Amino acid sequence: MNNPTVRTLIIHTHARDATHAIGAQIGGMVAGGQVLALCGDLGAGKTTLVQGIAAGMGISTRVTSPTFVLVNEYAANGRKLVHIDAYRLAEGTTLADAATLGLADILDEADMDGRNVIAVEWADRIRALFPADLLQIEITAAADEPDGRTLLITATGAQSSAVLAQLSALHACPPGECAS
């Protein structure tokens, strides 16, 4: 297992582009089967981060928020980014609801189809569906800085922990606080 001690990383960004850049770093690191759960209020920067992840995966298509379609898929270099926005689902969506919507299948396939990277906005709404190996990113707006954001990144499981360890190394900071 890669550096199992690294579990949490906090990164502060001060501009949209910096959050995008963190996404691009993550997109360059993730392997197929990775599931990313993105949380944060309206306008926190979840889609911005996914746009960065797409860029890091080599996807040149413009990534837009799938709020009205629930799921968008983007292919690049033999891999696929599956972008889910659970905003329109009720809090506490059940496994049965999600199965009806096909979401459970998509998340199951993440494991089986080693090409898929799945990023979910408003992940809180479908928490019951996530695999044990998960990279969770919670974005919070700074109270005193319009373009300030804090990314709290938490890994559970070996695959996600490996990504978190790489990200920590890239920011050359000990487990704890990084600024960007």
Please give the angle made by the CA atoms of 176, 178 and 180, to the nearest 5 degrees. Answer: 165
Radius of gyration (C-alpha) of the chain in whole angstroms: 15
Name the strand (E) or helix (H) holding 35: strand 35-39
- Which window, 32-40, 43-51, 104-112, 166-174, contacts Mg ion (CB under 5 A)? 43-51
Query: Where in 6-45 is the site for ligand ATP (CB under 6 A)?
Result: 13, 15-16, 18-19, 40, 42-45
Residue 136 contacts ligand ATP per CB under 6 A: no
In angstroms, rounded to a whole number, what is the distance separating the alpha carbons of residues 156 and 139? 18
What token pair was written down for 32? 């197929």
Residue 65 contacts ligand ATP per CB under 6 A: yes
Give the closest residue to 120 by CA, choosing from 35, 22, 4. 35
Residue 56 touches which of ligand ATP, Mg ion, none (Cβ within 5-8 Å per kind): none
In 3-state terms, what secondary structure has residue 25? helix
Residue 72 contacts ligand ATP per CB under 6 A: no
Residue from 147, 150, 152, 156 in contact with ligand ATP (CB under 6 A): 147
Residue from 46, 83, 125, 149 in contact with Mg ion (CB under 5 A): 46
> Which residues are near Mg ion by CB under 5 A?
46-47, 65, 121
